[in-house]
């Protein structure tokens, strides 16, 4: 198992209502139109993840897990790797329910996305609280 963690923070404009994605970003400010954004001012984009994690993500057999922790709340998303993942975006990390891949995609076929975050957690994120983002790569090799 490979694990990497970093800090981000909530923002008053976080709405977390998107139906197919969830995203963290290094941007410090966002509008309410960014319905998939769950944390801003992140210390890392996909480009910053360790090389061994990038390699592991290229296998469909790799299970990828993203966990958000803030205050007393925790939210976990599980998905899969994909051979087309490149992890080239320096700014964003996007979780997708679909199989669509681009330089911003962390995982595909995710079991949860932004709209699945409980309302209690969304309220905490609006307070600009510190968020710990932990990404795990579970490889069956």
* Contact predicate 61/139, CB 8 Å: yes
Nearest by Cα to 135 from 55, 73, 59, 53 = 53
What confidence tier does 119 reach under pLDDT thresholds 50, 70, 90?
very high
pLDDT surpasses 80 at 140: no
Given this model, what pLDDT does residue 141 score? 53
Q: What does the pLDDT look like over 26-56, one tens digit per residue?
A: 999 999 899 999 999 999 999 999 999 999 9
Residue with tokens 């977390």: 16
Nearest by Cα to 42 from 104, 96, 102, 119 = 104
Q: What does the pLDDT look like over 7-26, one tens digit per residue?
A: 999 999 999 999 999 999 99
Whole-prediction pTM: 0.96
* Contact predicate 106/91, CB 8 Å: no
């Amino acid at each position: 198992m490979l694990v990497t963690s970093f800090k981000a923070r909530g923002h008053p404009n976080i709405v977390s209502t998107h139906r197919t994605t969830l995203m963290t970003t290094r941007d410090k400010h966002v509008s309410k139109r960014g319905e998939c954004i769950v944390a801003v001012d992140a210390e890392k984009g996909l480009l910053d993840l360790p090389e061994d994690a990038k390699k592991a993500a290229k296998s469909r057999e790799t299970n990828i897990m993203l966990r958000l922790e803030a205050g007393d709340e925790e939210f976990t998303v599980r998905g899969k790797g994909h051979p087309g993942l490149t992890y080239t975006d320096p700014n964003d990390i996007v979780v997708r329910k679909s199989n669509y891949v681009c330089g911003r995609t962390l995982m595909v076929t995710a079991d949860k996305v932004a709209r699945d975050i409980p309302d209690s957690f969304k309220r905490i994120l609006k307070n600009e609280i510190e968020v710990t983002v932990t990404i795990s790569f579970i490889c069956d090799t």
